[in-house]
């Protein structure tokens, strides 16, 4: 079955710097790649997604890049702020209802 890997368990940046969180997936049929954010003590909420018909999607300070050949996708956060500190989960779906999540990357933004 699909496996999604997040290679960074923790990422520390200074406020104002950019952060990049990387993920890889195994199923070439995967076509939907959402990202979720989990702040301390809270549940997951959706932040951005990308579908396989495009290789880049931007929403304000967030950009998702998708490299289908390498089976890799990444979340780029520019001008980081302390409120960006959270665990970010990448996920992949080959359609249907199964969404497989990565293990999460804890982003720490220090002032």
Partner 1 sequence: NAGVIQTPRHKVTGKGQEATLWCEPISGHSAVFWYRQTIVQGLEFLTYFRNQAPIDDSGMPKERFSAQMPNQSHSTLKIQSTQPQDSAVYLCASSLEWGVRAETLYFGSGTRLTVL
Q: Which residues bind partner 1 (CB under 8 A)?
A: 31-32, 34, 36, 42-46, 49, 89, 93, 95-104
Q: Compute the residue count for the chain.
A: 111
Considering beta carbons, is residue 80 or 93 the nearer one to partner 1?
93
For the bound state, the minimum distance from the C-beta of residue 47 to partner 1, rounded and expressed in Å, comes to 10
For the bound state, the minimum distance from the C-beta of residue 100 to partner 1, rounded and expressed in Å, comes to 8
For the bound state, the minimum distance from the C-beta of residue 104 to partner 1, rounded and expressed in Å, comes to 7
Please tell me the distance from the alpha carbon of residue 86 to that of residue 108, in angstroms, as a whole number.
Answer: 7
Considering beta carbons, is residue 52 or 74 the nearer one to partner 1?
52
For the bound state, the minimum distance from the C-beta of residue 53 to partner 1, rounded and expressed in Å, comes to 11
Please tell me the distance from the alpha carbon of residue 25 to that of residue 35, in angstroms, as a whole number.
Answer: 13
* Phi, psi of 50, rounded to the nearest 5 degrees: -145, 145
Beta-bridged to residue 101, according to DSSP, are 91
Considering beta carbons, is residue 31 or 78 the nearer one to partner 1?
31
Instruction: Indicate the SS3 state at residue 82.
Output: helix
**Cα angle, residue 54 at apex, residues 48 and 59 outer, rounded to 5°:** 30
Considering beta carbons, is residue 46 or 111 the nearer one to partner 1?
46
């Amino acid at each position: 079955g699909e496996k999604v890997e997040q290679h960074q368990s923790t990422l520390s940046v200074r406020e104002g710097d950019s952060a990049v969180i990387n993920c890889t997936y195994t199923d070439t049929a995967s076509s939907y790649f959402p990202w979720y954010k989990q702040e301390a003590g809270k549940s997951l909420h959706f932040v951005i997604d990308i579908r396989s018909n495009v290789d880049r999607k931007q929403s304000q300070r967030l950009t998702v890049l998708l490299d289908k050949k390498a089976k890799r996708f990444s979340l780029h956060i520019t001008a980081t702020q302390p409120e960006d500190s959270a665990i970010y989960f990448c996920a992949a779906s080959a359609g249907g209802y199964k969404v497989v999540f990565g293990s999460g990357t804890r982003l720490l933004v220090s002032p």
